Structure 1
Amino acid sequence: MATTASTLPDTKALEPIRQALGRRHLLPARHYLDSGYPSADLIVASAKDYGIALVTPVLLDTSRQAKAQQGFAADDFTIDWDGKRAVCPAGISATWNDVVQEGVAKTVAAFAALDCIPCPVKEQCTSSRKGRRLSLYPRELTEAVRTARAQQQDGTWQRDYALRAGVEGAIRQATHTTGLRRARYRGLRPTSTTPPALPPSTSSDSTPGGTAAPSTAPIIATSPDSNYASPHGNWN
């Protein structure tokens, strides 16, 4: 269990936790996380650097088309990374431009207005007068997110992720029984002694293998709702 400043994002707390587990030879094969953790970078880095599969809900496509479930969302476009081509559902190819936006390497696939405006399915694709544009992260990251989104729609994945329900129940018990959401002390060092000192009935015994597990067992990260985190400390 790690105690951090309440302003530290969950994504920043994950790496120190994995390093600590690695030093004790307790890295899991699968890591169950809540929706505050996932990003394309973390999914790829976890698999590449630690051999850990993150089991966590990835944010869905927030485009207008995806939200309405009507028309062509980004995942409906075919991306040929080797040939540097993006093809829309109507079969039109876009120009491929490798760019850096706000310090992040991306690819912008721009479809010409001359192709989009007369297209018979334009209303299902874009309202722009300049044609549809796709902003893509590097191949490894884009494919990781697409795969994760597809997996989490499957019933098998959802049943597997239901393992986190035990931890959520343990968090609720701890916070409502002991007032854990508000730190009793100022500063990280004294605050960090509170969670381990909780009675056994409020510990993470409901997780498979407890708070630490062999490399073949899953491990589940816990994180109280940051909206209620104390200004002095937050535990993950």
Structure 2
Amino acid sequence: MTLKPEVVGPIPEATIHTARAAFPRGSVVMKLRDEFGSLYHDENFRHLFPTRGQPGLPPWRLALVTVLQYLEHLSDRQAADAVRGRIDWKYTLGLELDDPGFHFSVLSEFRLRLIVGNAEALLLDTMLARFQERGLVKSRGKQRTDSTHVLAAVHDLSLLELVGETLRAVLNDLATVVPAWLSTVTQPEWLGRYGRRIEEYRLPRAKAAREAYVSQVGQDGFLLLDALEHDPEMMEVRARPVVSIFRTAWAQHFERLEGGCRWRPGSELPPVGERLCSPYDPEAHYSDKRRTQWVGYKVHLTETCDDDAVHLIVHTYSGPAEVPDVASTGDIHEALAKKNLLPTEHVVDAGYMDAELVVSTAMKHNITLIGPARINESWQFKANQGYDQSHFLIDWEHQFATCPQGHRSTKWRRGKDAFDSDIIALQFSRTDCSPCPVRSLCTRSASTPRHLGLKPRDQYEALQQGRAQLSSPDWRERYDVRAGIEGTLSQGIRSYGLRRTRYIGLAKTGLQHVGTAAAINILRVVNWLDGKQRETTRTSRFAALCRSA
């Protein structure tokens, strides 16, 4: 399917009159067309289409339909029906009233082109470029970022369910691609064991019976793996993704023994965030945050938050569930730099902060990272007595520290900590520490002198400054704007289905998040240009009714 050149033309007169009669005040999508014409053009997507072949549908329309689909939380079939039957959609898409539309499968094909071409961000970035032309979004303002968890579109499986369902998944796949070969390998009892979904209520309850069951599943799996590995005609089959998943699951959960196999106990399994959680979505992982536990992904939303402008989402970053927020801060800034949308102040919570980031962000991008500094974890600080690092005077030029009793450190050595970050290790003299009258307030060790582990000077001073300003009213006022991103996450979850992914895999999930952000931006821009005031907090329908009465 090649790209058919098409210039976004005027709306047909019949469509205009019918739409205006049906929507005298205009709908959101109609107002979007009135203000911006079309947000997208075919040129934006030209590189995704071949130069030869049958002409296809205009990509600008497919892109706009995709965003409107997320705006109204529609399935592909419902979106195609809306193109065919909704007057306001025909108005926005510039279609004749009798236009037959297209088959709903076209939308999934278009999304696949975006993913294969690494062009998912086009849905949001092209829109932001249009908004920049209108002065609705600008660089070097204020922005804020936060994340929320996203549930995968798969069942949460116990370990027994996981291995059984993994074997069932690979059997179903092989029955599709090499049915004749599988018939020669399959054991008669496998039909009863793996013929239907593996669910907890069907599994044995007694401990001995469960151990026998999982041992049998392991042996069945190794039998199938051996048959695949030893057959030279199965080379292509061995490379199939589901077979790789199967091989990984067995390596994680079983140890092969002579004449059988052993079920690995929990202490021998990989970290929980790195384990396979479902054979149907291997990129979905387990994670937990405070009291929330989930299997899936994590999405980070970054939006502008200047008081005198519309608040628009300028970046989405979808990543694995187990990766901490702080690991994404640098990637977010790099992406914003490519869009020419870097902020002057970036407000985040403590999860996105560390001393190294505060320094590097300021040096590289000239961004002030505003967020709570990492708390002091020393026992002296927690007990509110004794001498933590802040009580020592650091002479960076001469490379020594002075303790509260006036003694100087004797060693100053640069090295790496457990996370491979630069650190400066200091040690005081045993002859000074052993007879010290306040030794119990400085160290709990009875034999070794006091040690200090300092970050490099710029990071150390940034950390101390960050901790000192937490109680400052001016800093609290600057940080308070971060609360608004919680409302954006709530809007995405409650109105646009952000909490659960529609698709399988991280790439498709990321595309959903980009489309959701674009949909939220459409609603906010239309309301802003319509003169509707931005709510500072959630308002119930009853409260809004009473306010307008």
- Scaled to the shorter chain, the TM-score interval is 0.7 to 0.9
Identity of aligned residues (%): 34
Q: CA deviation at 1:155?
A: 2.2
Give the alignment partner of residue 328 of structure 2, picking from 2, 5, 13. Answer: 13
Q: Does structure 1 residue 30 correspond to structure 2 residue 30?
A: no
C-alpha separation in 1, matches of 2:449 and 2:494 = 53
Q: Secondary structure at the match of 2:460?
A: helix
Q: Deviations over 1:48-102 (max 9, x none)?
A: 1111110011211100001111111111111000011101111111113213235
One-letter amino acid matched to 2:445: S
Q: Does structure 1 residue 155 correspond to structure 2 residue 470?
A: no
One-letter amino acid matched to 1:115: D
Change (3 A) 1:93 1:66: same
One-letter amino acid matched to 1:120: P
Which structure has more helix as a fraction of its residues?
Answer: 2
Aligned residues: 207
Q: Would you say the 8 A contact 1:110–1:134 is kept in 2?
A: yes
Q: Does structure 1 residue 82 correspond to structure 2 residue 397?
A: yes
One-letter amino acid matched to 1:180: L
Query: 2:371 matched to which residue of 1?
Result: 56
Query: 2:464 matched to which residue of 1?
Result: 146
Tell me: higher relative CO, structure 1 or 2? Use CA pairs within 8 A at least 6 residues apart.
Answer: 1
Q: CA deviation at 1:178?
A: 4.3
One-letter amino acid matched to 2:459: L
Query: 1:43 matched to which residue of 2?
Result: 358
Q: CA deviation at 1:196?
A: 4.2
Q: Would you say the 8 A contact 2:346–2:369 is kept in 1?
A: yes
Change (3 A) 1:43 1:199: closer
Q: Would you say the 8 A contact 1:136–1:142 is kept in 2?
A: yes
Q: CA deviation at 1:162?
A: 0.7
One-letter amino acid matched to 1:107: I
Query: 1:66 matched to which residue of 2?
Result: 381
C-alpha separation in 2, matches of 1:28 and 1:59 = 22
Query: 2:416 matched to which residue of 1?
Result: 101
Q: Secondary structure at the match of 1:193?
A: helix
Query: 2:511 matched to which residue of 1?
Result: 193
Q: Would you say the 8 A contact 1:96–1:107 is kept in 2?
A: no
Q: Secondary structure at the match of 2:397?
A: coil
Query: 2:428 matched to which residue of 1?
Result: 111
Q: CA deviation at 1:110?
A: 1.1
Q: CA deviation at 1:160?
A: 1.2
Q: CA deviation at 1:6?
A: 2.4
Q: CA deviation at 1:117?
A: 2.7
Query: 2:501 matched to which residue of 1?
Result: 183
C-alpha separation in 2, matches of 1:97 and 1:18 = 34
Q: CA deviation at 1:168?
A: 1.4
C-alpha RMSD over aligned residues: 2.6
C-alpha separation in 1, matches of 2:359 and 2:522 = 27
With the length of structure 2 as denominator, give the TM-score of the two structures: 0.35
Change (3 A) 1:104 1:35: closer
Q: Would you say the 8 A contact 1:34–1:57 is kept in 2?
A: yes
Q: CA deviation at 1:169?
A: 2.5
